[in-house]
Structure 1
């Protein structure tokens, strides 16, 4: 079991490498990864179940302790990235399916990888976990509403269908994880130790499936989509930091807000796009997953060198 835990930690620490490697393999050998498309939704549910296993009461006590900071983070998450996605689609006159895919990933909540990046960047981890938890729990209502509001001019969007999908993909697995955690107590710790391995395998499989299913379209439009993804992520990271500065947050919390805003739950985006639109609409989410797992560690390294004022993090 120690070997499995060690493998889990190694795979978790080299997440970006595996996502990039299997995205490339799926592009050049798509037939080998096409069967994975049927597993996109169950794999996302498995990731969310793992999140439920790790959520604790302390993650929500932060909401009561610093409600304004958490609210700023949640609003920044659900305003900056969706609005930025819509603006990029307009300015670049993106084709309908690509535009919907970009908006979709922009409307998703933050991903759990942001918590790890915040820790490495010496940001405010408690605030990061709280923002991720709250945005994820709000996602069944807020994400479909935003997609309907911003993407309907390109393709028809069903709020009710997306609401039900996110309930099944996100909320129910998280609730199940919380129930299992409550029932098993300390015995769940062993499962938590191998969660990085399960999460990485699941995300890698989702990305590989999307890339394989859209290989021809990526070959045709991949550079355009990648450019939009890089702009979306980079500007989002910058605007998140700026939002923290405008609200007078200390350095550790500015780092946190930057990472929370810029890093999305791209697995959810890929699953929703595959279920409700087309394989091409899922490509921005897949490429976002590849890119933000490269840009996140790079930015966290820069932020780490900026240091922090320990007195500030308690504000």
Structure 2
């Protein structure tokens, strides 16, 4: 989902774009599951689409850029400590936990690299929606997600090389170029479009979550199709790895906010900023630089983190906000 489709005001009544985002994030896991099943059952229909995956990701990131506004960036300057804590927690916890899980479960080099790669990805594109549902600090959520995406071209290849370089050949330079082309350039293009074509962009904002949901689902179908012959053998262990990875991310993200003495709303936001990954980017890079099988953890993560995120958000929303 694009990042700023959720309002950051203190009103309790969601705007039309907010309601659209909430509906989309509810339906999104179902769309991804259906796409995964189709990719598994009809691999021949989706395998030939593999070269289009980077362009599909570019569409998602362009949509994200369209949702960004100047207040999203001023929020970073107003709360540098909280944003820095969120970034450090995200890029330390998820890559580290991914490596530990890959080693602990004795995954094959391809699957291990895939788990590590999704751990090294920036924050997930639906994280701010989950923060909104959980009554968390949406402004902080948007700020962390935005900055983690902008610095991904440098941080993600470096972390992947460090943690997965002994498993498979990692061309960090080529990966950096790919992230620049498929993430940074589309995000900046979307941001410029929002700046100069604001009236037109505001008109299409309500449909952006749906565009992102459909495009991510297509990416999942393509990734699953690429490894359909190996899913039966690898699916169970990959699902376990993803559940552990996401669960530790959500829990340790919340704990990081607590240790950093952030308030309850900020802690809830960090839980999702740490635990939810841009699995579409990870799947794209895994397919391009490793193998279709290495992209399988990202595809499973796309399904699971939206389901678990929605469940955790609903649970947190029922708990009263406290400062302790």
TM over 0.5: yes
1:99–1:176 distance in 2 versus 1, CA, 3 Å: same
| Secondary structure, counterpart of 1:14 in structure 2 | helix
Structure 2 residue 290 is matched with structure 1 residue 277 = yes
Structure 2 residue 295 is matched with structure 1 residue 289 = no
Is the Cα contact below 8 Å between 1:19 and 1:290 reproduced in 2?
Answer: yes
| Secondary structure, counterpart of 2:262 in structure 1 | coil
Matches within 5 A, 1:1-315: 10-308=23-321
Structure 2: unaligned runs, 5 residues or longer: 1-17
Report Cα offsets for 1:71-112 as digits up to 9, x if no partner: 000000100000001111111221000000000000000022
Instruction: Name the CA distance, whole Å, in 2 between partners of 1:117 and 1:8.
Output: 10
Please name the residue that 2:13 is paired with.
Answer: none
Is the Cα contact below 8 Å between 1:122 and 1:307 reproduced in 2?
Answer: no
Is the Cα contact below 8 Å between 1:144 and 1:162 reproduced in 2?
Answer: yes
Is the Cα contact below 8 Å between 1:36 and 1:206 reproduced in 2?
Answer: no
Is the Cα contact below 8 Å between 1:110 and 1:135 reproduced in 2?
Answer: yes
1:224–1:306 distance in 2 versus 1, CA, 3 Å: same
Displacement of 1:32: 2.5
Instruction: Name the CA distance, whole Å, in 2 between partners of 1:10 and 1:61.
Output: 28
Return the TM-score normalized by structure 1.
0.94
1:251–1:62 distance in 2 versus 1, CA, 3 Å: same
Count of matched residue positions in the alignment of Structure 1 and Structure 2: 306
Larger mean CA deviation between 29-38 and 223-232 belongs to: 29-38
Displacement of 1:8: 8.1
Instruction: Name the CA distance, whole Å, in 2 between partners of 1:62 and 1:175.
Output: 18
Displacement of 1:247: 1.3
1:7–1:35 distance in 2 versus 1, CA, 3 Å: farther
Instruction: Name the CA distance, whole Å, in 1 between partners of 2:82 and 2:117.
Output: 25
Instruction: Name the CA distance, whole Å, in 1 between partners of 2:275 and 2:241.
Output: 13
Displacement of 1:191: 2.1
Displacement of 1:13: 3.5
Structure 1: unaligned runs, 5 residues or longer: none
